[in-house]
Amino acid sequence: MKSGILNRQYTALIVPIGVNIMLAVSLNLVTGFLGELSLGHACFMSIGAYTGALISTSMELPSYAEFFLALIAGGVMAAVFGFLIGVPVLRLHGDYLAIVTLAFGEIVKSILNALPFTNGSKGLSKIPMYSNYQHYTLVFILVILTIVIITNLVKSRHGRAICSLRDNYIASESIGIPVSRFKVLAFVIGAFFAGIAGVVYAHNVGIIKPTTFDYNKSIEILVIVVLGGMGSIKGSIIAAVILTVLPEMLRGADDYRMLLYSIVLIVMMLFNNSEVKERLLEMNLFKRHQKEVD
């Protein structure tokens, strides 16, 4: 509790920031690198969260073993769902695919609401707090792992194949890239890390409900990815931090909080794509920018 520089309000944000980074980086793989708009990322998160929570609430293992198991199971289960969603992915793209991801998210939400062991709309509560701010080292490690693995992947032969699909899938096919396999792969890996993020989320908040993971949550993650820049992992990280902290910074504004938040969001998007920013980049940051593009 004696957290030094940070007060309690901001200490409470450490884990949510980590969760959002994991979510944004994993969604970036699908949206930024594969180039497919996904409106169902929260669905994978919910699969992970529920799987993890069911494990840690029903088992009697030492806490670290239990949490480790929850993480793996949550990630794997989400990846399995990523694979299932991958099937329509083979036939669809663009906005049609986006709507299917949204549909899957809503279907999973409805089913979680109806299954007997997920406790309906009351959700699961009393989930042990294995990943709250007192265990931020653990969360930190998971976040770093996510970032490193996805960054590595993107800069490999598999990652290049994924990026090529974004740029021109007809050309990708023509040079022998098994298009379907890589589309599914991106979804599966993205889902896996979203699942892990879900497990961390569940064990930080202690209660999960189906409504937490509706399309608004997916859109929140998407906002982070796009604001940070599609295909920029560094951008996702920075945007995750900004967008998690911002609402809390606006607390003082009371009634005007959401209004200000929306204005800041619009202004940031406009600035991000404006000539002013281009000028700034041209002036001194040009070299670095160029690297990012490559």
Of 176-195, binders to another protein (CB under 8 A) are: 176-179, 185
Residue with smaller CB distance to another protein, 55 or 165: 165
Residue with smaller CB distance to another protein, 65 or 145: 145
Among 126, 137, 284, 288, binds another protein (CB under 8 A): 126
Site of tokens 């309906």? 120
Chain positions 261 to 280 lying near another protein, rule: CB under 8 A, are 261-263, 265-266, 269-270, 272-274, 278
* End-to-end CA, the chain: 44
Region of 50-58, 59-67, 73-81, 244-252 interacting with another protein (CB under 8 A):
244-252
Q: How far is the CB of 15 from another protein (least distance, A)?
A: 9
144 contributes a contact to another protein by CB under 8 A: no
Region of 56-64, 72-80, 136-144, 198-206 interacting with another protein (CB under 8 A):
198-206
Residue with smaller CB distance to another protein, 65 or 168: 168
222 contributes a contact to another protein by CB under 8 A: yes
Amino acid letter, 202: A
Chain positions 79 to 98 lying near another protein, rule: CB under 8 A, are 88, 91-92, 95-96, 98
157 contributes a contact to another protein by CB under 8 A: yes
Three-state helix/strand/coil letters over the chain: CCCCCCCHHHHCCHHHHHHHHHHHHHHHHHHHHCCCCCCCHHHHHHHHHHHHHHHHHHCCCCHHHHHHHHHHHHHHHHHHHHHHHHHHHCCCCCHHHHHHHHHHHHHHHHHHHHCCCCCHHHCECCCCCCCCHHHHHHHHHHHHHHHHHHHHHHCCHHHHHHHHHHHCHHHHHHCCCCHHHHHHHHHHHHHHHHHHHHHHHHHHHCCECHHHHCHHHHHHHHHHHHHHCCCCHHHHHHHHHHHHHHHHHHHHHHHHHHHHHHHHHHHHHHHHCCHHHHHHHHHHHHHHHHHHHC
Q: How far is the CB of 292 from another protein (least distance, A)?
A: 11
Q: How many residues does the chain have?
A: 294
251 contributes a contact to another protein by CB under 8 A: yes
Among 158, 232, 238, 242, binds another protein (CB under 8 A): 158
Among 59, 64, 65, 286, binds another protein (CB under 8 A): 286
Among 61, 63, 110, 234, binds another protein (CB under 8 A): 110
Among 140, 152, 234, 285, binds another protein (CB under 8 A): 152
Residue with smaller CB distance to another protein, 83 or 247: 247
Residue with smaller CB distance to another protein, 38 or 51: 38
234 contributes a contact to another protein by CB under 8 A: no
Chain positions 53 to 72 lying near another protein, rule: CB under 8 A, are none
The 201-220 contact track toward another protein, x by CB under 8 A, reads: x---xxxxxxxx--x---x-
